[in-house]
C-alpha cells in the first residue's frame, strides 16, 4: 500500500486538495546527496553526478548518481533534462524521459548526450537531470481485426498542418 499524505489549502471557496506526497526511499552510496526540489513549485527533483567525466560532441555517457530507488507500486520516476544544460550547452537526457520502474532496484544512471560544439565536463556534485514522480496506469491489451475510424485517420508527422 502506498503511503500518501494529502495536503490541503483553505481558500475562500472552501478546502481543496493541492498536492499529494508519496514516499520514495533511496539507498545511496556514501556521501551522496538525496534528490531535492530546488523551489517549492518544482515538479522535478535535481539529481547529481557522482563521477567526473567529459562528454564529447556527438556522444553520450551513462552518468552515475549513486542512487538506488524504492518506488511505490503504481508509480515511476521519469528522468528528464535540465533546461539550462540543454539550452546553454546542448546537453540533454538521450532517452528523455527515461523511465525508472517501481520494481527496479539498481542504480539510477542518467544517459547524457552532447549535441553542442564543445566537449562538456561533468564534475562530481553537478546537477545533471531532474527526477519526476509520475503515476502509472497499465493498459488491458487485446487483439482485434477492426479499429474505429476518426477524422484524423492514419495521418501523422505534421498531417494536421503547421498553422
The tens digit of pLDDT for each residue in 113-150 reads 999 999 999 999 999 999 999 999 999 999 999 999 99
Where the chain has pLDDT below 70, the residues are 1-19
| Number of domains within the chain | 1
pLDDT at residue 8, rounded to an integer:
40
> Computed over its alpha carbons, how large is the radius of gyration of the chain?
20
Q: Does some domain include residue 36?
A: yes
Rounded distance between C-alpha atoms, residue 136 and residue 75, angstroms: 5
Global pTM value = 0.83
Residue 60 sits in a domain of what CATH number? 2.70.40.10
Structural domain including 71 reads 25-135
Cis peptide before 97 (omega within 30 of 0): yes
Amino acid at each position: 500500500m502506498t503511503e500518501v499524505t494529502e495536503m490541503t489549502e483553505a481558500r475562500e471557496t472552501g478546502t481543496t486538495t493541492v498536492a499529494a506526497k508519496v514516499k520514495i526511499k533511496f539507498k545511496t552510496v556514501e556521501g551522496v546527496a538525496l534528490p531535492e526540489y530546488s523551489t517549492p513549485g518544482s515538479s522535478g527533483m535535481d539529481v547529481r553526478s557522482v563521477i567526473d567525466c567529459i562528454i564529447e560532441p556527438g556522444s553520450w555517457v551513462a552518468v552515475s548518481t549513486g542512487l538506488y530507488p524504492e518506488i511505490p507500486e503504481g508509480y515511476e520516476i521519469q528522468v528528464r533534462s535540465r533546461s539550462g544544460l540543454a539550452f546553454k550547452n546542448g546537453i540533454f537526457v538521450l532517452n528523455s524521459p527515461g523511465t525508472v520502474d517501481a520494481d527496479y532496484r539498481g542504480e539510477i544512471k542518467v544517459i547524457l548526450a552532447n549535441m553542442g560544439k564543445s566537449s562538456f565536463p561533468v564534475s562530481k556534485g553537478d546537477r545533471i537531470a531532474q527526477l519526476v514522480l509520475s503515476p502509472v496506469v497499465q493498459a488491458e491489451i487485446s487483439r482485434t481485426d477492426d479499429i474505429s475510424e476518426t477524422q484524423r485517420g492514419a495521418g501523422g508527422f505534421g498531417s494536421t498542418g503547421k498553422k
